[in-house]
Amino acid sequence: MAAAPPRPAPRAGREAPGREIVRAAMAAAGGEQQQQMLTQRLKAAVHYTVGCLCQEVEEDKDVQFSKQSIAAISEITFRQCEIFAKDLEMFARHAKRTTVTTEDVKLLARRSSSLLKYITQKSEELASSNMEQKEKKRKKSSAAKGERTPGEQEAAMTENEDSNMA
């Protein structure tokens, strides 16, 4: 009968933390902890903006929101974002796209006619400001190609006058 060699008992205090560190590193590498941290940061960002917007209503309507009510609105908003996100993703996928567009956002706002009107209006404002940006860029690039704007022509003329005064 051969006796099995006695295994050294794991040294408490020395080895256990080592294992913990490895496990934590693996979890972090797996992205779990990062995900939680991101969620916390996003919740904080939402809470901050909700606080700002409630402050506006406070000043406008001369009321005060309790901290709990602001926290509740913040939590509700955060959770609603999950519903919004999943809907948006499905709308985009339904249209055979991987990028969510303003059309998808408008669909989100369909349940209340006043909300839909407001969002549609905002969407049109965005579209027209985009057109303006494009116009500006087009003018800039055509100016760079040699067509001088009236301002530049004036400057050129002034330079010539100066050289005559030598």
Partner 1 sequence: MEERGGCAGGFRKDTVDRLLRLHFRDGRTRVNADAQLLMAELLKVFVRAAARAARQAQAEDLNKVDTEQLEKVLPQLLLDF
Position 68 contacts partner 1 (CB under 8 A): yes
Among 6, 12, 99, 161, binds partner 1 (CB under 8 A): 99
CA-to-CA separations, 104 to 37, 46, 98, 132, in angstroms, rounded: 29, 22, 12, 24
Burial grade of 57 (CB within 10 A; 0-12, 13-18, 19 or more) = exposed
Position 133 contacts partner 1 (CB under 8 A): no
Residues 22-51 that bind partner 1 (CB under 8 A): 38-39, 42, 45-46, 48-51
CB 63 to partner 1: min, Å: 5
Q: For residues 50 and 69, is the Cβ–Cβ distance under 8 A?
A: no
- Torsion angles phi and psi, residue 103, rounded to 5: -60, -40
CB 67 to partner 1: min, Å: 10
CB 130 to partner 1: min, Å: 7
Q: For residues 51 and 70, is the Cβ–Cβ distance under 8 A?
A: yes
Task: Give Rg (Cα) of the chain.
Answer: 31
* C-beta closer to partner 1: residue 132 or 161: 132
What is the sign of the dihedral through the CA atoms of 74, 57, 112 and 96? negative
Position 84 contacts partner 1 (CB under 8 A): yes
User: CB-side exposure of 81: number of CA atoms within 13 Å?
Assistant: 9
* C-beta closer to partner 1: residue 126 or 143: 126
Among 4, 14, 56, 164, binds partner 1 (CB under 8 A): 56
Task: Report the interface residues with partner 1, using CB under 8 A.
Answer: 38-39, 42, 45-46, 48-57, 61-66, 68-69, 72-73, 76-78, 80-82, 84-86, 88-89, 92-93, 98-102, 104-106, 108-109, 111-112, 115, 118-119, 122-123, 126-127, 130
